[in-house]
Amino acid sequence: MEKIRSLTGRSERRRSTPFVSVKATRKWLNDLPGVSEYDRHHALVEGLERYNGDTRGDALTRVRVLLLIEEAGLPLQARLVEQFLESHERNDAARQALWRECHLFWDQMIVAYLPFLNIVLRSNVESEKLLALAPQIAARSLRYFSLAMRWEFLRGRRPAESAWRRLHKIYRAVESAGMVLDKVSIGGRETSSAREYVMTLLFDLANPYAFDAAEIRTALELLDEIPELPVPESGLRHGRHSHMVDLTATGGPERIDDRWVPGGRLRYLDFHGVIQAFEQRASRVPDSPQSVVCRKLAKVIGRAGAIRGVPRRPRFGEVRAVFGAEQVFALFEQHGRIPPPCEFITLRDESGKGIGFVLNDERAIEPGSLLAVDREDGRATWQILAARWEAAEGMHWLLGTEVLSRYPKRVEVEWEKAGSGRETASALFLPLASASQGATSNLLLPQTAYQAGGELLLRQDDGTRYHLRLGSVVETHESWLRVEFDVLSREAA
């Protein structure tokens, strides 16, 4: 009798779930609770978690239910992504909660589709049932895995090595099944497994954490709007292919650089067309903000993303560090004396343009955030760097930075402000650190002091005065701007 009651109870619980049939799921979606889009999105993600936690039932019915949840979830996800990008530009506190909520959706979609991909890749009775949906399942598995990895870039972190291994493994399996070129429609847009995989490789090359908050949205749109992407090929065509990717590696693509690199697990890509498309788009409206992003994308994809031709030298030991623009400026206001927030971080490696560090603990560091490090054991020779990426490696948290200036100087700037007379503020003069800055020195100053083409007076500690005309903004660093300038005149003390 107890056994009968137990079986009856299980049956009742199964019937009570909203995912037992397409009809029940549609009713559940129509009745999603919540007064805001965020609340409805959160309820849908919680429903996805319940769906993934109960894998009983016919596989074909479960896939149809999942497609229904996806159809309802994608518009909600798109609006939350838009809210995240807006909050990212404003640098407000809501962006972290929005980032997590969007990531949860991608993550649950991965958990939902991968078991079905495993089924269609096997030859059995269940896989026969899903045969007609196999290309849909394969493309969606790669798409959502790709989107979860791309989403990591938007908080300044490179995807984990384990994520790259898994992505390559999924692509190899889909490639072996002959489904990489099958066209499917997701969210009203045509795509394929090959396109979704290559989009992840392109994102890694595009190095999106090097773009400032105002450029991220444009970069995402431009990358997503590329009509044709190259398909990975197993045979190298010398002189045509520009990049290669190792399907057994723990990272993204590399530039070939005219090397003959054969290998059974290597795939080759021709990104010349993508680079040319960005260059042509930039030339149509050369002075628009979009053209600036197009040129950046073409340049960074052509040089293979964050990979540099400069060798990186291992480094050991600790350095003193100050994080955040306000604290960096406070440091130079005190003429190099150590402010209270100073801490020690460990050197990892170095190139001519950047330094890698190992952090003591996990922390959220926005791409472009400033930090200053003292390499000379208390001799007040502070260098200014910009954070470019974070990554987890085992139990360690890695931070990659670009050196903006090895010998920054505190200066005073004075400018005319309409309606309030002349105003003054502290700024930092950044002598050239590398050719990546356009072979000019830069000025780091408060946003209130900047006006494109405006003129200001710069005073050094020795009394020397310079009359400057401000140029374009190179990059935004929290509440400060790094700008180009022309020297109009100089007056000795």
- Count Cβ atoms within 10 A of the Cβ of residue 320 and give its class: 0-12 exposed, 13-18 middle, 19 or more buried: middle
* Same-domain status, 139 and 27: yes
Residue 324 falls inside a structural domain:
yes
CB 332 within 8 A of CB 411: no
Residue 258 falls inside a structural domain:
no
* Domains contained in the chain, number: 3
Q: Is the dihedral of CA 299, 303, 304, 310 positive or negative?
A: negative
Q: What is the CATH number of the domain that holds 483?
A: 2.40.10.10
Alpha-carbon gap, residue 131 to 92, rounded angstroms: 47
Q: Phi and psi dihedrals of 28, rounded to 5?
A: -60, -40
Per-residue pLDDT tens digits for 32-90: 887 789 999 999 999 999 999 988 889 999 999 999 999 999 999 999 999 998 887 77
Choose between 266 and 311: higher pLDDT: 266
Whole-number pLDDT of residue 239: 76
Please state, for a pLDDT cut of 90, what percent of the chain lies above it: 34
* Same-domain status, 424 and 353: no
| CA distances (Å), origin 156, targets 83, 150, 204, 378 | 18, 10, 12, 30
* Same-domain status, 58 and 123: yes
* Same-domain status, 370 and 446: no
Tell me which residue has tokens 């292919």: 241
pLDDT at 307 over 80: no
The parent domain of residue 363 ranges over 313-405
314-341: average pLDDT: 74
Average pLDDT, the chain: 83
Residue 423, Cβ neighbours under 10 Å: how many? Answer: 14
Alpha-carbon gap, residue 298 to 321, rounded angstroms: 34
* Same-domain status, 385 and 440: no
364-384: average pLDDT: 78
Whole-number pLDDT of residue 213: 62
Whole-number pLDDT of residue 309: 43
* Same-domain status, 40 and 132: yes
* Same-domain status, 395 and 449: no
Q: What is the CATH number of the domain that holds 318?
A: 2.40.10.220
Domain boundary among 136, 163, 198: 198
Residue 419 falls inside a structural domain:
yes
Whole-number pLDDT of residue 315: 53
Residues in the chain, how many?
493
* Same-domain status, 382 and 457: no
CB 24 within 8 A of CB 80: no
The pTM of the full predicted model, rounded to 2 decimals, is 0.65
* Same-domain status, 456 and 393: no
98-118: average pLDDT: 95
* Same-domain status, 347 and 387: yes
Q: Phi and psi dihedrals of 366, rounded to 5?
A: -70, 140
Q: At what angle do helices 213-224 and 193-206 cross, to 10 degrees?
A: 150
Residue 47 falls inside a structural domain:
yes
Per-residue pLDDT tens digits for 392-448: 776 778 898 988 888 898 899 998 877 667 888 889 998 864 434 344 688 999 888
Choose between 16 and 480: higher pLDDT: 480
* Same-domain status, 30 and 145: yes
Alpha-carbon gap, residue 245 to 200, rounded angstroms: 12
Whole-number pLDDT of residue 304: 59
* Same-domain status, 373 and 483: no
Please state, for a pLDDT cut of 70, what percent of the chain lies above it: 85
